[in-house]
Homo-oligomer: A and B are copies of this chain.
Amino acid sequence: MQKLPKAVTRLINKFERLPGIGPKSAQRLVFYLLHNPDHELIDFAEKLTSLKKDTVMCETCHNVAEVTPCPVCTDETRDKTTMCIVEQPLDLLALERSDIFDGQYHVLHGSISPLNNVGPDQLYLRDVLQRLEGVEELILATNPTMEGEATALYITELIKRSNGDLGSIKITRIGHGLPIGADIEYADGVTLARALEGRREVGE
């Protein structure tokens, strides 16, 4: 049987390891790239190698940025009294796009997931406590999944049990309910239950 050239197979293997790309898509991508001019591939390769060279993790909030501390942490116009905890840098970006939050962030880079051997020590979680001075409200914006809920619960307990005057911080969880544009008819029971729990008075 006719085999693929090694250079092709090796690149297919690389693409296959990426999330959401199966063997068939990987094959299609590589054959698409074969029709690209050489300089395109070299350019792609350069962008890959410079990805980590030209980015740093902000040592304050652990966001991905070009400088540390990142522009959000150094922005003096942002509210210092609210902090939002998110799982991933992409969550931070999604919140920034919504343009409604103007406080500080803290990126955990994951959520507590015992099944995947991720405990609190594998996350950027301990140093949240050191950042809470002056913070009046802490918004827990971890995902509404089992892992995200567990992480939110863990952080709440951590702050409540900590010594010092952290007890006065208001801890909130982002609202759960029906996403805008959704159909009640097709909503799952848990979401509907949360939407009812989270109901607000009209005009509030």
Asked whether B54 lies within 8 Å of A6 as measured between CB atoms, the reply is yes
Residues A87-122 near B (CB distance < 8 A): 88-90, 92-93, 96-97, 99
Chain B residue, CB-CB nearest to A88: B31
The stretch of A38-46, A143-151, A184-192 in contact with B is A38-46
Asked whether A72 lies within 8 Å of B31 as measured between CB atoms, the reply is no
Contacts of A54 in B (CB 8 A): 5-7
| Residue among B8, B20, B51, B72 making CB contact with A64, cutoff 8 Å | B8
Known: A1-B97, A19-B28. Contact between A7 and B92, CB under 8 A?
Answer: no
- What is the interface of chain A mostly: helix, strand, loop, or mixed? helix
Residues A29-73 near B (CB distance < 8 A): 29-34, 38, 41-55, 63-66, 70-72
Asked whether A8 lies within 8 Å of B48 as measured between CB atoms, the reply is no
1/0 contact string of A1-16 vs chain B (CB within 8 Å)? 1111111101100100
Seen from chain A, the residues whose Cβ lies within 8 Å of a Cβ on chain B are: 1-8, 10-11, 14, 18-21, 25, 27-34, 38, 41-55, 63-66, 70-72, 88-90, 92-93, 96-97, 99
